[in-house]
Chains A and B, each alone.
Chain A
Amino acid sequence: MHRAVRIVSWLYALAVYAFIFLPVVVLVLFSLQSTSFPIPPFTGPSLRWYEAVLSDTRLTSALVNSLLVASISSLAAVTLGFLSAWGFARFVLPGSALLRGLITLPLTVSYLIIGMGLLVLFNWAGVPKSLLAAGIGHVVINLPLCFAIIYSQMGDHQVNIERAARDLGAPEWKVLLLITVPVMAPAIFAGFFLSMTFSWDEFVISFLLTRFETTLPVEIWNLLRSGLNPKTNAVGSLVFAVSIVLVVLFELTLLRRKPA
C-alpha cells in the first residue's frame, strides 16, 4: 500500500514535469533530425539544420539584432530602474506610495496593449518602425521589473554607508558610483539578466514596432509561416539555450547570498 502510494506520487511528479518540458524536449530533439520534416520517426542526430540556420544571413542578423536590442534596452531599463529605486528609497516624495504603484503598473498590462499604445504614439510622433522603437518598448516593459527587484533590496542599512561616504568628502555621483552601485550589484545584475531574458524572446512588441530589420522571434515567426521544418526547431533551440543561460545568471546573482 505504502509502496503503491510512493510509485503513484513519483508517476504524478513525472507527468507534471513531462507536461512542462516535453514540448521543449521535442523541439530540441527534432532540431537534430537529419531528414526534412520534424516528425517521428527520429532520424538523427545531425547538425545539418544548425548549419542551415547559421548560414542563413536573415536569421543570423536577426540574432545579432536581438542580442543588441536585449543588451542595450536592458542596460537602459536597469539604469533607470536603479535611479528610480534609489530616489524612492532615499528621498521623501509627496505621494511616494502612489508613484511607486504607478511605476510598477506596466507589469500588469499585456504586452499587446503596450505594443499597440507605442505603435499609435510613435506613429503620431513620427518615429519610424525600427529596432530602436522595439528597444524603447522593451525598456517600457522591463523598467518596472528592474525597479521592483532593486527597490526590494534597497534597505535602510545602506543609508549610513552612503552617509559615511558623503561625510568623507564624496560628491553625490561618486557616492552612487563607488558605494551604492557596488553594494547593490547583485540586485542590479539580477534585474539586468531578467530584462535580457524577457527582451530576448519578446515577440508582440517587436512584431508591431519593427519593419525591415527585426529581432529573432519575429524572424522565426516569418519562418514558421512557410510551414514547420527542422530549421525552425534548430533556431528555437538556440533561443531556448540563450534564455537558459540568462536565467541561470539571474538566479546566481540574485540568490547567491554573501556572508554578512
Chain B
Amino acid sequence: MSTPLVDIRDISHRFGQLAVLKNVSLRIEPGSYTILLGPSGSGKTTLLSILGGFVNPSEGKVLIRGEDCTSTPPARRPTTTVFQDYALFPHMSVGANVGFGLRMQGVDAATRAAKAREALALVGLASAFDKKPHQLSGGQRQRVALARALVIEPAVLLLDEPLGALDLKLRRQMQDELKAIQKRVGTAFIHVTHDQEEAMALADHCVVMNDGRIEDEGPPERVYARPATRFSATFMGESTILAGKVSNNDNGRMTIATGTGSISLPGTSLVGAGLALAIRPEHLILGEGKSDTSLGTAKVSDVVFQGSFKRVLATSDQDPGLQFIAKAPASAVIQSGDKIGVSCNAGDIIQLAG
C-alpha cells in the first residue's frame, strides 16, 4: 500500500481536564475529499486545528507526505486553512489578499498578480481583483478565502465549516462549486461540517466523529447504507433503532427477540447477546405492502409534509418506547392518530455494533 498523504497516528488531545480527542487515527489519500462530520463538541474542529498546526496534540503524531509535522508551525507545513469567518485581510485588496502567501514566499509582484488572477478566475471571481473585501458578499468572500489558500498550492487544504455562514440556497450552490474546484485542482480537501447533507454531497471519504472518537469512516454511500455504530446510523441520516436479544442461533441464522416480535437475520452472535438494529426511514413500509418482516402496529404521532415526501413519526403499540421514523410518498393519505401496520424487508435491516 502506498504512503497516505496524511497519516494521523493515535492523536489524543486535552484542553485542561477535558479530553476532546481520544486516540484518533486517520489516513487521508492524495486527491481525496474528506469530510469530518460530527456534532459540536465532537472534536472535529480540534482535529482540523491539529492538522493545520494551530494546536499541538497532547499525544500522537501527524505525518504529511511521510514527514513528521506534529509540531511544525502553520507557516512551514504544506497545509492551508480556509477559516469559518474567512479571515480576509480587510486593509488589502482582493488581489493582495490572494497574493499574500506568494509574497511571503518572495515571489515577485508581477508573477504574484498573474497567479492571483488565475486563482480568482478558478473560483469565478476574476473581476474582483481590485476590490476590497468589504465590497464583496459573503459567498464572494468565501471564494476569495478559497483562492487565497489554493494559490500557494498546498498539499492539503483544510476547510473549517466553510459554508456555515451562508444561507441555505447559497450553501448548496457553493457546495457544488467546492466539489468542482476540488476535482479541477486535485488537491486533497479536508472539510469540517455538522451538516450531514453537505457531507453526503461532497465527501469521497466521510469520517463520522462523536465525543472525541471516530465512529465510522468510509465512502458516504457505505456509511449511509451500512453505518457501523448506532451514532452514525442516527447522525448520518435518520434511523429507527430496535433493541433486541439473540434468542436462537442455528447455522448462520439467528432469531432476535425485539419489543415488536422476533426477527430472523443472518448472523452468528451468541444466544443471549444484545443487538441494536437500525432501519432507514425509506425502508419502513407503512400499511399494506410486500415485505418479509413484520414490526407490529403503530399509532401515527406526527406527519410532516416535506415536498417530495411525508416524514411520519409513529409509536409502536407493542413497545411504547420505540418510535418509528418513516418516509411516506407525498400522495399518501395518512394523518396523526392513524393506526397502521409497520413492516420491512430483512435485507434492509442494519446490525449495529454499538
Residues of A within 8 A of B (CB): 157, 160-161, 163-171, 174, 179, 182-183, 185, 258-260
Q: Give the dominant DSSP class at A's interface.
A: helix
Contact of A168 among B53, B73, B85, B104 (CB under 8 A): B104
Q: How many A-B residue pairs have CB under 8 A?
A: 62
Q: Inside 8 A of B85's CB, which chain A residues have their CB?
A: 157, 160
Q: State whether B152 touches A183 (Cβ < 8 A).
A: no
Q: State whether A168 touches B91 (Cβ < 8 A).
A: no
B105: interface (CB < 8 Å): yes
A163 to B48, CA, bound (A): 14
A171 to B91, CA, bound (A): 19
Q: Closest A-chain residue to B90, C-beta based?
A: A183
Q: State whether A169 touches B75 (Cβ < 8 A).
A: yes
Q: State whether B134 touches A167 (Cβ < 8 A).
A: no
A166 to B148, CA, bound (A): 13
Q: State whether A164 touches B90 (Cβ < 8 A).
A: no
Q: Inside 8 A of A179's CB, which chain B residues have their CB?
A: 89
Given contacts A161-B87, A164-B87, A182-B91, whether A170 and B75 have CB atoms under 8 Å apart is: yes
Q: Closest A-chain residue to B151, C-beta based?
A: A168
Q: List 11 A-B contacts (CB under 8 A).
A: A160-B85, A163-B74, A167-B53, A167-B80, A167-B81, A168-B100, A168-B101, A168-B148, A183-B90, A185-B91, A259-B134
B54: interface (CB < 8 Å): yes
A170 to B106, CA, bound (A): 11
Q: Inside 8 A of A161's CB, which chain B residues have their CB?
A: 87-90
Q: Closest A-chain residue to B85, C-beta based?
A: A160
Tell me the chain B residues, 57-111 only, with Cβ under 8 Å from chain A. 73-76, 79-81, 83, 85, 87-91, 100-101, 104-105
Instruction: Report the minimal beta-carbon distance from B208 to chain A, rounded to whole angstroms.
Output: 27
Q: Closest A-chain residue to B148, C-beta based?
A: A168
Contact of A164 among B81, B134, B152 (CB under 8 A): B81
Q: Inside 8 A of A160's CB, which chain B residues have their CB?
A: 83, 85, 87
Q: Closest A-chain residue to B135, C-beta based?
A: A259
